[in-house]
């Protein structure tokens, strides 16, 4: 298998505490800008990542502030973009059972799965063999029209 990412990757381990999400967002934003994502693409990736992390904290670990979350961020080789992988040892769920609610049902909450699926170019959500879950998010940079014409 050919490698799809630049090294080095950034690997973080955080506790399942909401106050730790802001520094993770800042780090991923900095990497996104460095790797050629525009503001909108970076915001989409960060929002999807934030939803995934919030789900781990709130639903996977049931708010336990001592759960472990591992985050890896790597630059894509095939053009500008980033991959974010989130892993945990929280409660395992069946990815097929996680369906966002109907978008016509207007009320707060319940849109995280929809956002993650639509804001990034690649979304995977699966149980880990070691227990817990693994979420993969990838966002590629949109080529600028002037660059595409050359």
The answer to whether position 4 is within a domain reads no
Count of alpha carbons within 13 angstroms of residue 68, beta-carbon side: 6
Full domain range(s) for residue 144: 10-149
The answer to whether position 5 is within a domain reads no
The answer to whether position 136 is within a domain reads yes
**Number of structural domains found in the chain:** 1
Whether the pLDDT of residue 107 is over 70: the answer is no
The answer to whether position 46 is within a domain reads yes
pTM of the model: 0.83
Which tens digit of pLDDT belongs to each residue from 53-94? 999 999 999 999 999 999 999 999 777 899 999 999 999 876
The answer to whether position 2 is within a domain reads no
Task: Enter the tokens of residue 4.
Answer: 């799809």
Q: Which residues of 15-26 are buried (b: 16+ CB within 10 A; e: fewer)?
A: ebeeebbeebbe
* 7 vs 42, more confident: 42
């Amino acid at each position: 298998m050919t490698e799809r990412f630049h090294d080095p990757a950034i690997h973080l381990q955080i506790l399942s505490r909401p106050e730790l999400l802001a520094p993770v967002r800042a780090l991923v934003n900095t990497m996104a800008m460095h790797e050629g994502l525009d503001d909108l693409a970076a915001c989409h990736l960060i929002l999807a990542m934030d939803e995934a992390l919030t789900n781990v904290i709130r639903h996977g670990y049931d708010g336990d502030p001592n759960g472990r979350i591992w985050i890896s961020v790597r630059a894509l080789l095939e053009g500008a973009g980033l991959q974010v992988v989130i892993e945990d040892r929280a409660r395992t769920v069946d990815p097929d059972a996680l369906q966002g609610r109907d978008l016509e049902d207007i009320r707060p909450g319940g849109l995280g799965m929809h956002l993650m699926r639509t804001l990034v170019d690649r979304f995977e959500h699966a149980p880990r063999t070691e227990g817990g879950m693994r979420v993969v998010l990838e966002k590629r940079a949109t080529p600028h029209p002037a660059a595409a014409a050359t």
